[in-house]
Amino acid sequence: MKNTKRLAIAGLAAVLPLAMIACKPIDKETGKPVEGAAAQTPAEGGEIAGLKGEREQISYIIGNQMGEQLKQIKDEIDVKTLQRAISETIDDKAIEITDEQAMGIMQKFGERMQAKQVAEMEEKSRTNAAEAEKFLAENGKREGVQTTASGLQYRVITEGTGAKPGPNDTVRVHYKGTLLNGETFDSSIDRGEPAQFALNQVVPGWQEGLQLMPVGSKYELWIPAALGYGEMGSGPIGPNQALVFEVELQDIVK
């Protein structure tokens, strides 16, 4: 196959990153090989779910990995054409597409996908902001819930008798963080080990909330997005999402 028929590998890889084939299980959430996982192979001549022999098994594994990577754009591709391209490329019968043509097509596709992602993010941002505003307005009326001037809300579960940390102190805490729907996104309790960090290195809602707590206290905190991860979000935390934390302040670390 001539150079002019290549599908602009660099541009294509930026949009459709296919994992290198390795003898590792694939994480169904990320579509990536599980690091540190031991290879699992059938006994000689064995069969896996109707896949007879190494050739069928390898073919299915490669297809499975490609499928996991393509899930994120499944509505943008035609599977029959994809299968045709794979087959014709393997047989050196692929239609002639120059690097310039491929790059132009993939650039337009990348721009359209980026615009789509921005629109989806903006919609999520508006939805999350409206949901948070409604929730916090109702939550602030609950018995025992206090709202500070910044908009932080808290409820005392247990009031400790120790000192309160300052803005530059390092603290040891046990905590559980959830979204408004109850989904846990982070938890030192689940990890079985308290967390230790400097207050000046965490989001403003934590900085303010922890300074209200004497050592030995356990509070529930409701943190508006403006005091959390804002319009961008972070990891599992979406744009403009309010956060809920149950925090136990164990110690001020000297």
Which of 74, 97, 120 terminates a domain? The answer is 97
Q: What is the pLDDT of residues 129-154, one digit of tens each?
A: 999 999 999 999 999 999 999 999 99
Q: What is the pLDDT of residue 17?
A: 44
Q: What is the mean pLDDT of residues 64-78?
A: 90
Q: Is residue 12 part of a domain?
A: yes
Q: What is the pLDDT of residues 77-124, one digit of tens each?
A: 899 999 999 998 999 998 888 999 999 999 999 999 999 989 999 999
- DSSP codes, the chain: --GGGS--HHHHHHHS-PPPP-SSPBPTTT-SB-TTPPP--PPTT-EETTEEHHHHHHHHHHHHHHHHHHGGGGGG--HHHHHHHHHHHHTT------HHHHHHHHHHHHHHHHHHHHHHHHHHHHHHHHHHHHHHHHHTTSTTEEE-TTS-EEEEEE---SPPP-TT-EEEEEEEEEETTS-EEEEHHHHTS-EEEEGGGS-HHHHHHHHTPPTT-EEEEEE-GGGTTTTT-BTTB-TT--EEEEEEEEEEE-
> Chain-wide mean pLDDT for the chain?
85
Q: Are residues 48 and 159 in the same domain?
A: no
Q: Are residues 18 and 81 in the same domain?
A: yes
Q: Is residue 110 part of a domain?
A: no
Which residue range forms the structural domain that includes residue 92? Answer: 3-97
Q: In this structure, what CATH number is given to the domain that contains residue 238?
A: 3.10.50.40
Instruction: Look at the chain and report how many structural domains it folds into.
Output: 2
Which of 97, 112, 143 terminates a domain? The answer is 97
Q: What is the pLDDT of residue 72?
A: 85
Q: Is residue 114 part of a domain?
A: no
Task: Decide if pLDDT at 213 tops 60.
Answer: yes
Q: Are residues 92 and 30 in the same domain?
A: yes
Q: Are residues 136 and 178 in the same domain?
A: yes
Q: Is residue 59 part of a domain?
A: yes
- Global pTM reads 0.66
